[in-house]
Each structure stands twice: as structure tokens, then as C-alpha cells.
């Protein structure tokens, strides 16, 4: 049974699908989602930092706002000093 996908026809769902077709809006929403994960204690990897233009200073500001310890360069990028 090959059924076509039926999208929700609720006005909010239609509006959200329309908004998410814009690349800039999707990028900002994904960046905000990443910052929420950082507030919860996650450590973003280097690729995410580059993609969403997050600096170590910005990540540390978010972490200190919620009482988490600051990250250093070694922790974020896996640098072991060798």
C-alpha cells in the first residue's frame, strides 16, 4: 500500500511549513535549538559551531547563565595538546 503523505491542514502547520522553506529562517531556528541544548549541558561539536557561527565565548556565556562551568578550547574541539 503506497499511500500519499497527508500534511496537516491546520493554519499553524501550514504557516510553519511555509516558514521552514526559507533557508535563513530554518538556520536561525536550528541555531536557537542548538543553544537550548547547550543550556541543557550539551557540548556542540566543531562542525556545528562553524555551521551556526557560534564562538566559544558565546557558548560559555550561555552555559554560565544557567550555572554550568565554562568550556575550554580543549574540551570543545578535542585538542589533547600533542
| Predicted pLDDT of residue 15 | 86
What pLDDT was estimated at residue 31? 95
Whether residue 16 is contained in a domain is answered as: yes
Residue 75 corresponds to which cell in the numbers above?
574540551
Residue 32 counted as domain residue: yes
Q: Encode pLDDT of 14-42 as tens digits.
A: 888 888 888 998 999 999 999 999 999 99
User: Taking CA 52 as the corner, what is the angle to CA 51 and CA 56, rounded to the nearest 5 degrees?
Assistant: 105
Domain that holds residue 34: 11-77
CA dihedral (68, 70, 76, 81) positive or negative: negative
SS (H, E, C) 20-82: HCCHHHHHHHHHHHHHHHHHCCCCCCHHHHHHCCCCHHHHHHHHHHCCCCCCCHHHHHCCCCC
Q: How many domains does the chain have?
A: 1
Of 26 and 5, the structure prediction assigns the larger pLDDT to 26
Amino acid at each position: 500500500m503506497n499511500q500519499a503523505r497527508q500534511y496537516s491542514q491546520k493554519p499553524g502547520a501550514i504557516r510553519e511549513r511555509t516558514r521552514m522553506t526559507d533557508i535563513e529562517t530554518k538556520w536561525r531556528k536550528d541555531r536557537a535549538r542548538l543553544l537550548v541544548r547547550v543550556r541543557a549541558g550539551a557540548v556542540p561539536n566543531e562542525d556545528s559551531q562553524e555551521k551556526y557561527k557560534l564562538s566559544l565565548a558565546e557558548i560559555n556565556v550561555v552555559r554560565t547563565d544557567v550555572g554550568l562551568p565554562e568550556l575550554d578550547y580543549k574540551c570543545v574541539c578535542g585538542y589533547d595538546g600533542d
